[in-house]
Structure 1
């Protein structure tokens, strides 16, 4: 089965823990959980914990950015 070049390969995705996302965004872990549960930040459930794709965090921050000037 041939895969298309545009197809995302999960082995290449860098996942972050909730604590790493919180540190990256400078928010609490509870805020990250709220974003995940609210559907604003996609995440994969691994056992009882979540893993968030790094690209999803970067995209969320990029879309949340606004120019105050």
Structure 2
């Protein structure tokens, strides 16, 4: 199963829930929970969710644990 990521007109990559789950190494249900709680932005097309790559990047950065050396 080879999934592809389609760019939109503004070149924003939209990812499926499965692709985000694979990237972040969590379950698809976890990604759905994040979407429903508003922790990560998504668009819904019928019953399919698409998550902008920028939203995934923003989520990863906001949950990053600072390096202990950076804090000293």
Q: Report if TM-score (shorter chain) is over 0.5.
A: yes
In structure 1, how many angstroms separate the alpha carbons of the residues matched to 2:12 and 2:60? Answer: 18
Q: Which runs of 5+ in 2 are unaligned?
A: 1-7
| Cα RMSD for the two superposed structures | 1.2
How many residue pairs were aligned?
A: 60
TM-score, normalised to structure 1, is 0.80
Deviation, 1:68, is 5.5
The aligned residue for residue 35 of structure 1 is 34
Q: Structure 1, unaligned stretches of length 5 or more?
A: 1-9
Q: Scaled by the length of structure 2, what TM-score is found?
A: 0.77
Quote how far apart the aligned CAs of 1:46 are: 1.2
Match for residue 55 of structure 2?
56
Q: Indicate the residue corresponding to 1:23 in structure 2.
A: 22
SS in 2 for 1:41: coil
- Distance across 2 between alignment mates of 1:14 and 1:68: 29
Q: Which has the higher contact order (CA 8 A, sep 6+)?
A: 1
For 2:58 and 2:23, locate their aligned partners in 1 and report how far apart those are by CA, in whole Å.
Answer: 13
